Each structure stands twice: as C-alpha cells, then as structure tokens.
Structure 1
C-alpha cells in the first residue's frame, strides 16, 4: 500500500512539473515570424545583407527580442538582436542587416535546424518563447566570382539590354524595390554597383537615402542616369552628384563609337549643367559631358547626361556592349570573395586580427630563473643547514624550506599574473586609408578577461561592422558566444560566459567620416623628394613613412596640427605604388617581437586588403602609426587597461619632373586580375607574381606608375617573359580591340608600342588556362624602356 502511495505522489509531482514547464514554451506560440532575406532571397557570401521580418501577434501584447544567428566563416559565428513590440492582434514589419553569411558553412552543416530564436523581454533573461513560421534563414547565394548590380528603375524592362550585358560579363543584376533598400549601409554590402534610372529617390525615407550615401562613402559605385527633374527626383543624393543638370539639348550619338556599330538614331536628348569641383569627364560629345564622375569617400559616383532607360537607346542592340566596355563598370573597391578562394574573414583574421590577441605580460627570463634556482639550491639550503645546526634547530628545516618554496611560488605567480588580476586588458589594432576626409578600413578589438562572466563591448565615434573572432562554438548556439546590438548612439557586442583569463576578438570593416587628412606638398626631381607634410588628423603620429615599390623612407614623427619637412634622396627614377614582400608566420617569443610582428602584419594587410582592392592609381603612399584609436571601444562596467595602434595611409600625388630614358620592371607596375570565366583559387601564394587558378580565361592588368602615365613619353621597347604549360598568353591592342598572340616565352615588341598601353597607362594580357594540371600560374614578367620628352 505504501509503495502505491509513493508511486501516486511521484506521478502527481511529474504532472505538476510538466504543466509548470509547458506554458513557458507555449506562451509565445501565438507569434508568427516570416522573413525575407537579401534581395529576392539572394545574398553574397561573406557580405552584409538586409532581412525583412514580419511579426504577427494573435495573442496578448508582446515585447521581446529576436536573435538571428549567423556564421561569417566556419570558425566565426554570432547572433544579431532585433527588438520588437507587437500589440495584441497586430502585424508589424521590421528590418535589420546581418554582417555576413557563410555559404561554405551552411551548405556543409546539416545539423543547423534553427537559426532564429524568440525571447520574451530581453534575450539576456533567457526566457525563450515558442513561435510559428520561419525558424531558419535559407538564402540563395550569388556566384562568388560575379559582381552585383542593383537596379532602381520605374520600370526594370527599360534596362533589358543592360541585363543581357551584365549576364555575359559575370555581373548579377538585381531589380531593387523600395522595400529592399535597408535603413543602414551594411545591408547594401552585397551590392557592388547601384544604378538609378528615373527612380524617385526623394520618396524613400531619409534613413534609406542616407544608407545609399554611406554605402558609396564606404566604397560602393553609384551610377545615376539623367532625369527631367533631377533636383526633385534624387533627393539627398542630388547635392553629391558630379553634375547639376539645368538644361536639355540634343546631341549626336558619335560618342558611342566604342561599339561595333553606331546607333541607328543620330541624336538623343541629354541633360547637362555645371560640373562640381573635383568632377572629371570620362566621355564627351563635342564639348558636352556625357559621362562624368567623382570620388565620394572611398567610393565613386558616375552620372550620365542621358537617361539610362529611355527609347530609342534602351532598344539599341549594342547598348549593352557599350555599357560593358565603359569606365563605369571598371572594377570595384569592395573587399570580397574570389570564386573558389579562401573566405575573406578567415584571411582577415589570420593575416591581421589574430596578432591582436597577443597581450603583454610580466615574464621571467631564462637567466632570471637560473639565478633564482642557483640562489635557492646553492645559498639558501646550505645557509639554513649551517644556521640551524649552529642553533641546534635542524628539526625546523622541513617547514622553513616548504614555507620559502610556497612564498616564492606565490611571489612568482603574483608577479607574472598581476596585470591579468587587476583589470581586463584590451588591444585595438586598425588599418585605414583616407580619401576625401574619410577613413575606411578594418579594425580588430580584443580583450583579455580578468574574471569570468559576461563582457559587453560598446563602440562609438565611427562605424564598425564586425564579426566575432575565431571560435569553436557551434553556430546553432550563437547567443552563447557573441550577440550584436544596435543602439541609438552606440553599437555593442556581448560575449556571454567568458572564462577567466580568456580572450575574445571582434573584427571587421570600420569607417569614420570627417576624420581629417594629410596636407601633402611634395615634389620629385632628379631622385630628390622634398617638400612639407601637414597633419590635419586629430591624431599624433609617432612615425611617418613614404612607401614606393619595395622601398620605405622614414619621415619622422608629427603631432596633430603640426608639419614635418621632407628632404630625401632616393634610388628610384620614379615613384610607384607599394607592394608587400609577403607576410611572416614566425612565433614571437618576446614583447619586442610581438610589436614587430604586429606592424609587419598591419603593413601587409593594408596593402593586400585596402590598397590592392582600391581604385587608386599606381601611386606611392604616405603612412604612419598612431596610438590613438579611430573607433572608440569600452568594456561596459570595467576600467580596462587599453593599448591601441592604428596605421593610416594616404596616396601621394607628387609633382614629378622627369626627363631622359627610363626602364620599368614589372615590380613597379600595379597589377590585378579580372576573371572572365573560371575562378581564383588562391592569390596569396607568398610570391607577388604567382596565383592558383582554375581552368578558364583571365585578364591580367598592369598599370604604369601614375606620373609616367600622365607624361609625354616615348616608348621604345616592351619585353614580355612567361613560363609554364597549359596556359596561352596574348596582348591587348587598345586601338583595334584585338589580342596579339604571344607564342614564344620571350617576346620583344619595338613598334607601335602605344597601341598596347592605354592612355591611362594600362597593359592587359589575356591568360587562357586549359587542362587539368597544376593550378599554380606564374604571371608574365614585363620590362618597358622609353624616354620622357620634357
């Protein structure tokens, strides 16, 4: 009988406990969540994108947080917070932007069953709620080797010829609607270009208009077509357009002569007006500007005097071809994947952010430890022996020796750990380029905890769109590793349950507007560089350098608002863009080696991730180190010990006077490769002129140093040398548009050289790789001889 009573009580308790637990999960079942990710469901792997979130509430008033888990790479994951307030019986639509989604992770991880989580109240209270609807983001991925072109038009059919052009040139076109435009620039990160064709930008919310402007400032390319009422149509964008059209005229169509055939119509209406200061004309029709452009932050704004989608231009069969070869679609300045290449976040962490995790600490050298042991064994033990023997107290030796050993161990521990016990430590490392007064680049923030618990990093004074550093946490539990939140004045990332003496890293793209610049007034003549540099940044630089080719010249320190004079003799006849000799993978054994390794990696990353991905001409740079941080970071509720180091560079446009003969080797030529078909497996093989490529077709582009490209030059000889099998090479004739085959591994050209070098100093060699052989391809080596006509 007693057993039956005990069994009854046990079952009753089990029922009560079950009923107590069930309402917590069921309480939110009246919430339905629907999501639209990216642009018509498409995103670019490794790039930011918008998410539209619709929340329907069929129950009581609900206030809470939704967490969206993401993985920027296989080893980096976190969650982004969206706070919602949905009254009873209502339906609301929200938007947020995620920093990245990794195709390589989500395609290979079938264990991710849920990546969207709902919480009642704050997510920190951990009151998870059940809901119906979408439980996981499932975007489609745009090919990594493609560029993305977003089209804003009153009728996308007007741009049908440009859609055909884009497909044949590895450009993915995305028809944008008002709802797709996010409220911040991070959501536009998946786009390389935005084209506007008679679309009413002014009808967009101001936050959306500002998002487009900031996207351009961060490296995007905006292509704006003409409109009858540009001032009223373009809204906030009108003030930054390179041309302010105020009259309509007719002009002939001969400026389309880059196409195989001229248009069947003789003239088109265009809208022209005053050009802004700093605007450049790329295409003319007589004296009228047809295509103009100017830099804006780190990006560019291109503007046409003609409508992009009006008839009869929109129906001309060669319109797409003309647009494809126009300068408007030359390259992008956005850090991105190469098809088949390594994940950019893994690259950025390994080559830049990881070194930020080295923290200074008190250490004993081998000599100090040896001296301590010598004193302990040779002096303390014999001394105690004779002292205690004399006092006839030898029975006390055991506890005295143990006590000295214990006190010594505690002392060694305290000396070695004193920095880690007192307060958390924080390292900040940044690399930035300055253009038009704006800083754009990458930042890494790492802290070393002094206690266990939650750590919240707050960021202000700039934009910082980062991702958590490498971790082994499962992606379906992102809230356990790092949670990102956007506030009105600051953004934050919270790392829950941090262990004692553990590091956490947050890194990614960062920018700051109105940050200042260097005022540079330098001239170069007879290998002598002279002039003055004024520091208009709010930062003190502990050292400035000029970097040309593989040479670095130390200029000296300069404080904010002060100037430094330059008077250096160089070994180069001309100055060119910088190139890095490769990165070091040594393991530092001292603080001095850590500091040296950090600067080495910062310089390498600045060239590989910023300079080589920018639209800068082949120009030298001025760069410096400052201990001031561009992005302000704080650990909430902690008095952390901080250490910052930022590298900031600016390209040099130097007044150059050259005369006489010159010889240019390929190490003074800025280069990049454009994929026509195929894919880049690895472009960081450790050697400057080697890459690993899939079978396919590629254009290898080399650029003359900026000052040579603009001078009155006479070219006398062009030598091209190449090595390897399963690859054929040909040289572009810019005048005829045809390619000259290079059947011999060593080719010398002495006639009509100007046909093979464009007006802006570009040389293009086509590579066609065939056969399933070694992916390693050595790029052709060039030597150019000529003379300057003064």
Structure 2
C-alpha cells in the first residue's frame, strides 16, 4: 500500500506532489499566486494532395505480448512522390489525457509500395485509442494527410500465453505442443517465415521461444542472425534441432550452441525420453540422431546410447537448447508423450501460467510509476521559514502599516501600499519555495539484472521535471526504446500532453510537447541485449550440519550498499561491499533473517516515521510480486546511486538522482565429494504444466484454482550422485490439496501420504528420478493458497 508521511524539514522521501502542496499553501493563504494556464492544442487540419493507401500487420500473425516491444509492419502506396513523417499515435488506456507518438521518416515513390517497420510496446489497441498519421514534411510543421484506402488505426489484444515461433522446412514442426492447451496451459505455435524476421533484436522480444529445426540457417541475412543472437542475449530461448540436418541448422549459431556436432547415429530406443514423456514410445526400427560433444559450461539433460539427446547452454540472460533429433520426424513427433517431454525441457522458458486468470497486468517498471514521484532533489522548503514569512506579512500589513500610516496621516496610501507589500511577499515566498525548481531535473530508477557471467539487462524508469512550460527535446543513446507516461501538472493532476519518439541509428529522441510548469513526465527506457556490468562472485558451501559458509566478492562496476544474500529460506545481511572487495557469509543470528513466507522487503526495510528507505522497500516489493519470488528462491541483491543512465537536453546531460537495484540469481556450486546432505530450502521446485483457471506464485505463497499443477525439483547437476534418501517436506498442504509423485520406473503417479507432513523415499530413489529431477503433481478441489513443498537429499558423490 502506498503511504505518505508529512513531517518537518529534512524529509526527502516525501512524494514530489506532497512537497508542492506545502509550498503552495502559504501562497494560497496570501492570495497572491496566479493560476497557471494550460495550452490547448490546435485541432487537426487535413491537407489536400497525395492519395496514400495503407495496410498494417501487427506483431507475429497478429499476436503481441503485453508490454513487450512488437513490430508494426505498415505498407504505404502513394499516387505521387512524397516524403514525410509516419506517426503511430497511441492514447493512454487508463483514461488519462496523454498520448505517445512513434515517428519514422519515410520517402514514398509514386505507385511503389513502401514497407515500414515501427516498434511499439504491446498493449490493447482499437480504433478509439490509436491512429496512424502521415505528415508531409514533418509532424512539427506539416499537416496530416488522410489515407485514401485502408484502416488508419491498429487492432490487437495482448496474448498472455507463450509464443513459440518455428523456423523449419516443415511448417507443422512443434504443433504437438498445442496439445498442452487442452491441459490448461496457454501457448501458441506458429511457423515463422524467414523474410519476416526483423534485423532488430528488440522487435523479437514478444517471442518466448524460437525453434529452428532442419533449416538452412545460413540463408538468413547477417543482420537477422545477429538479431536472433541478440534476442537470446537479452533473455530469449533458442532451440536448435534437426537430427541429420542439425549441422545446417546450427552453423551460424555455433558460438552460442550447447554442442559441437560431429556426425549422426542410429538408435533403436529412447528410454530416457520415454521416461520424460511418461508414455510408451516404440520406434519400430532405426531412428537417426545427431552426435555431438557438449561445450564447456553446457548441461546435458538426457542421453541416448551415450549421446546427449537434450543439452542447454546459458547465453547472456537467455539460453540455447539442443535436441539431437528432427522434431518433425515420426514416430517421435506424433508420440503421445512428446508434449509432456517438451513441457519439462522448456519448463523455465515458457510463461505457461500468465493467462490463467485472463487478466492483463502492468509490467514491473509500470508499477514503479508512483515511486518516481519520491524525488530526492526537490526538497520541501522549511515550514518554519514559511510560517515566519506569513507572520511577518500579517504583522507588517496589519498593525505596523496601520500605525505608520495613521501617524503620518496617510491612511489612503494603504490602497497601493498593501498590494505592493503583497507582491513583495509573493515574490519572497515564491523564491523560497522554488529555489530548487528553476532547472531541469530527473529522478531515475535502474533495474540491473545480472546473469552471473558478467553481463546484465538494464531497465530504466525516469521522471523528468520541467521548471517551465513549453516543449522539451530529450536525447537518449542509440538503440534505446522509449515508452512514456502522462505528465503530472503543478497541482498533481494529469495534464493533456503529447510526446513524440523517434528511434534512429545515432540516437533516440523524445520530444515532450505542451508541458506545464513544474510538471513530471514519466519515461521508461529499454535497450537491446545486455551490458557489461560485472557480477557478484560467490563461493558458497554447506557444512556437515547444513549451515552456509563462504564469501561473496563484488566484481561489478560499482560499490554496492545493503547487499543481501537470499538462499535456503534465509536472508543473510552482507552490508556494504566496495568494488573488488569480498565479505564472508555472516554467522551472527542478528544478521540472518529466516522467513517462511511473506514479503522480504518489509523485513529488510521496516516502516518508520521518516521512512528513509521507502523507495528501496517499494522497488523490492514490486519486483518480488512481479517475478513471483518466494522464500525458496536463491538470489543476491544490492543498491547503488551511481549514474548508470544518462540523457541529454540541448546537448547537456540532465542532472539526475539515480537509485539502482542490482539483483542476480544464485546457483550453488556444490563441489561435492564423498557424503552429501542437502537440507530443505536449497532445491526449489519449478512449475512445468498448469491445468487450472488460476495460478500464480507470490512472496506469500502459491494461489491456484480448481485443477492440477505439475512441478519438478531439480537435483544436483554436478558429478555422478548416488542418492540414498529423498525427503519432501510440506506434503500436507491443506484440506483442499492432494499431492502425488511420479514413479518413472512404474510410469505412474503415486499418492503421497501426509503422515507427519514429510514423505521420505529410501532404498530406491532412482525410481523417481526423471532427467535428474523429481516430478510431483498437486491437485486442488477448490480455489486455495499454500506454500510449495521442499526437498532435502542425502547420498554420495561417486568419483
């Protein structure tokens, strides 16, 4: 819940608009402040001239993803040569009076179709909230030309399931995945035409998975191949497959592929794949697979005759998956277990639960909108000073002035002296209240998501303060994509404003038009791919009692403050870590927060009267809910105030307050030898399938409707482990939920007893291991909430 506290001088965390209210009160009390006028935009005038026809195509096969950048392909045909600005203008969907226009300069030769691609953020689009305009010359000077044919608006509704694009000689490749839609998942598989692949990785961001199977990838242009690689680097999932045709599929992506292919082989059975799919698989003869050697850092999923059948390799924020067979080849392609097998392979790469309740959510950065209003640079003037100025004015105007004029017998002078004194007092109060509001300022929040390899994806939300009314042109670095929010006016309301975004090779320009005095314009910035920002290096070990030891080294580009390591259900306060320095994992109980459920942000940054950590608490809380973080997740976070995002106005950098939130996932490097004992909380389950009308994970636990959820505990990926005991705690979720565990040997689900809330397997743990994972299913009779079960393991590392 958003809260504001009004307190005395020195409180810099008050909302920007709360501060302005304090400034305006004395002015209103003196009746000396004039109302600011708002400019009224001129009505539209359509020019006579060229007749232009337009056709539009949204996203991929008409599908876009909410808040993801999507391509809009516009085809224009003019009856004469003409040049100008093509503008896609989008109104706010929340009833506010502002709009963002995406601009691109185009030249239209006579009677020659011209194709233009513009990137826009995914949102609900209809004829009432957007329009396409063409301005001869430029939008700032020209007049809009009506389109002779075609629709001058876009129509689209964001798709919230998974979008899987397939580049293959067989357009039906991966269609088997559509079976999962009948099980409650939400995904869409469609063929991707080579000529529709953009050369800008940002315009691929609406896709969750790209599958390239038995396709000559070298026929793609170099910019297209770089776009796919950049998209993976920024968080996409690329699947490379093809069996005997794998070499031609993967050749242009050899640098990021999980394997190096070295030939083919024939197999007569795929027993591990059969276990993964949970259904009988009969090959009826030889089945061709590609043979390969796994590259350093890649992980094998399952094998077939000693060859990797599935393998994966992290690249930047994304991953590349390898499949050793042609995904369109029978009998595996039509095998009943094929969808379940791939649901497991892609378990962490598909947002299969995003559309289960049919609602569209704001993005994380949108949810930080109100946090931008806690503007540290705009300080509240001293209340004591304003009070004394009011008292002095009252004393001067009333008894002192009266006494002086009476004694001089010039009381009629009061008619002009009182207004003069009022003007002087007005100017004094205005100067006192606006001393820090005479120049352009910015308040910027950067989200830095480290991948642990030295790179990060940076997302930015910024509020730009305008000291005067008028137009402002801001310049951002090249390859920056912008989305804008409404401009708050002087009195805290939404003003009618317009913004124009032009993405060019050298830079991205944002023109803010019709800004009011003392307004805040909100802007969200995304950049292509990742940036080199370092990492938090971790050397973590568990002792024989299951206690965590080790150290964390700051190898990022900045000093970090209030660093916290979250792993195993505990939050370890590491304090401030300077660049290049290391700190040991604390053993003092006062530096360790143990939390079963709930929002960690309130535990790290408790509410207080002055609330100096309101921004940090709200950022962490919004991130936790947006990412579905729970107490069993493992990550490390920290803060800095360095300038990581800069934009300019008239060539000069805008003075900016910046708060940077750093976060990186934690992967335990077990370094095992001999006996192992991994306690509860270190091996977190991952959801692979959902068959329920509502499902979500939140800091307070899991919420689901009537139906089933299948999840998997990942086991230790290092070395060769012989398990002696598997123990699942939290099996008695509540009276509405039952649990089953998958027996891979019997190929069936087994009920889990809730005796003592713990289910222990000894003697035959290998019967329950599928692709180095333990699979379980939860069934809810009605809408409910609960905490996910936990797993502990015992065994021995075999050398």
TM-score by length of 1: 0.79
Matched, 1:493 2:493: no
Partner of 1:48: 69
Secondary structure in 2 matching 1:332: coil
Any idea what SS the aligned residue of 1:345 has?
coil
Residues 75-224 of structure 1 aligned to structure 2 (within 5 Å): 78-102=100-124, 106=126, 111-112=128-129, 115-139=131-155, 141=157, 143-144=159-160, 146-157=161-172, 161=176, 164=179, 170-224=186-240
What's the secondary structure of 1:604's corresponding residue?
helix
The alpha carbon displacement at 1:213 in A equals 1.3
User: Aligned to 1:355, what secondary structure does the other structure show?
Assistant: helix
For residues 191-236 of structure 1, give each alpha carbon's deviation from its aligned partner in whole angstroms, at most 9, with x where no partner exists.
2111111222222222222221122112111111136565655453
How far did 1:759 drift?
A: 7.3
Q: How does 1:515-526 map to 2 (within 5 A)?
A: 515-518=532-535, 520-525=537-542
Q: Does residue 67 of structure 1 match 2:84?
A: no
C-alpha distance in 1, partners of 2:65/2:657?
Answer: 35
1:589-611 per-residue CA deviation (whole Å, 9 max, x = no partner) reads 99963x51111122224434458
Aligned-pair distance for 1:358?
A: 2.5
Gap change, CA 1:458 and 1:263, over 3 Å in 2: farther
Check conservation: 1:384, 1:397, Cα contact below 8 A. no
User: Contact 1:528/1:567 (CA < 8 Å) preserved in 2?
Assistant: yes
The residue aligned with 1:13 is none
Deviations 1:389-416 (A, max 9, x none): 9997896995877766643442232122
Report the 3-state secondary structure (helix = DSSP H, G, I; strand = E; otherwise coil) of the residue aligned with 1:679. Answer: coil
Q: Distance in 2 between matches of 1:454 and 1:519?
A: 42
Q: Report the alpha carbon displacement of residue 122 of structure 1 after superposing the two structures with TM.
A: 1.5
Partner deviation per Cα, 1:161-208 (whole Å, 9 max, x = no partner): 455567665321111112321222232223211111122222222222
SS of aligned partner of 1:212? helix
Compute the displacement of 1:27 (Å).
Answer: 0.8
User: Per-residue deviation at 1:547?
Assistant: 3.2
Asked if residue 407 in structure 1 is aligned to residue 427 in structure 2, the reply is no
The equivalent residue for 2:657 is: 643
Go from structure 1 to structure 2 and tell me whether the alpha carbon gap of 1:626 and 1:219 turns closer, same or farther (over 3 Å shift).
Answer: same
Confirm whether residue 318 of structure 1 aligns to residue 339 of structure 2: no
* Superposition pairs of residues 617-766 of structure 1, within 5 angstroms: 620-636=634-650, 640-654=654-668, 664=680, 670=684, 676-680=690-694, 688-691=700-703, 693-699=704-710, 714-715=725-726, 718-723=729-734, 727-735=736-744, 736=746, 738-741=748-751, 747-752=757-762, 754=765, 764-766=776-778
Alpha-carbon distance in structure 2 between the residues aligned to 1:166 and 1:38 = 21
- Partner residue, 1:558: 578
| Deviations 1:244-284, CA, capped at 9 Å, x for gaps | 21322323333432242222334322222332221111121
Distance 2:208 2:540 in 1: 36
- For residue 25 of structure 1, what is the aligned residue in structure 2? 47
Give, in whole Å, the separation in 1 of the partners of 2:506 and 2:261.
37
| 1:303-344 residue CA offsets vs partner (Å, 9 max, x unmatched) | 122222245544x433634643541x2132779943335533
**Cα distance change of structure 1 residues 454 and 273 upon mapping to structure 2, 3 Å threshold:** same
Q: Distance in 2 between matches of 1:70 and 1:447?
A: 20
Q: What residue ranges of structure 2 are gaps of 5+ in the alignment? A: 1-42, 490-494
Deviation, structure 1 residue 512: 5.2
Q: Does structure 2 conserve the Cα–Cα contact (< 8 Å) formed by 1:543 and 1:556?
A: yes
Give 1:363 shift: 2.1
What SS does the corresponding residue of 2:47 show, helix, strand or coil?
A: helix
Q: What is the TM-score normalised by the length of structure 2?
A: 0.78
The SS at the match of 2:297 is coil
What's the secondary structure of 1:124's corresponding residue? coil
Task: Determine helix, strand or coil for the equivalent of 1:414.
Answer: helix
Q: Which position in structure 1 is the counterpart of 2:14?
A: none
Distance 1:282 1:304, change over 3 A: same
Tell me the residue number matched to 1:778.
785
Using the alignment, how far apart are the partners of 2:731 and 2:44 within structure 1? 75
Q: Is the contact made by 2:686 and 2:711 (CA closer than 8 Å) also made in structure 1?
A: yes
Query: CA offsets per residue over residues 338-370 of structure 1, 9 Å max, x none?
Result: 3335533366423x2321123232324444555
CA distance in 2, matches of 1:705, 1:390: 94
1:249 corresponds to 2:265: yes
In 2, Cα distance between the equivalents of 1:416 and 1:746? Answer: 65
Asked if residue 767 in structure 1 is aligned to residue 787 in structure 2, the reply is no
Structure 1 position 479, deviation (Å): 11
Computed over aligned residues only, the root mean square deviation of the Cα atoms, in angstroms, reads 4.6
Deviation at 1:295, TM superposition (A): 0.5
- Whether the 8 Å CA contact 1:72–1:101 is kept in 2: the answer is no
Which of 531, 534, 549 in structure 2 is aligned with 1:529? Answer: 549
Task: Tell me the CA shift for residue 567 of structure 1.
Answer: 5.4
Match of 1:607 in 2: 624
Aligned residues: 731
Which of 282, 290, 294 is the matching residue for 1:271? 290
Q: 1:513 to 1:639 in 2, by over 3 A?
A: closer
Greater shift in the superposed pair: 289-298 or 31-40: 31-40
Give the C-alpha shift of residue 44 in structure 1: 3.3
Relative to structure 1, the CA distance from residue 589 to residue 25 in structure 2 (aligned partners, 3 Å threshold; closer, same or farther) is farther
Taking the aligned partners of 2:253 and 2:771, their CA distance within structure 1 comes to 31
Note the C-alpha offset of 1:573.
14
Provide the rounded CA distance (Å) in 1 between the counterparts of 2:309 and 2:251: 22
Aligned to 2:40: none
Query: Does residue 298 in structure 1 map to residue 317 in structure 2?
Result: yes
CA distance in 2, matches of 1:709, 1:248: 26
Shift of residue 510, structure 1, vs aligned partner: 4.5
Distance 1:280 1:710 in 2: 15
Cα distance per residue 1:540-588 (max 9 Å; x no partner): 43553333435241332413xx32343521549999999861667xxx9
1:15 maps to: none
Specify the alignment match of 1:541 in structure 2.
560
What SS does structure 2 have at the residue aligned with 1:43? coil
Unaligned runs of 5+ in 1: 1-20
SS at match of 1:40: coil
Three-state SS of the structure 2 residue aligned to 1:642 is strand
Conservation of the 8 A alpha-carbon contact between 2:163 and 2:206: yes
Aligned pair in 2 of structure 1 residues 719, 568: CA closer, same or farther (>3 Å)?
closer
CA distance in 2, matches of 1:305, 1:662: 33
Q: CA deviation at 1:511?
A: 5.5
Specify the SS of the correspondent of 1:50.
strand
Change (3 A) 1:789 1:349: same
For residue 445 of structure 1, what is the aligned residue in structure 2?
462
Q: CA deviation at 1:688?
A: 0.8
Deviation at 1:287, TM superposition (A): 2.0
Instruction: Provide the rounded CA distance (Å) in 1 between the counterparts of 2:523 and 2:732.
Output: 44
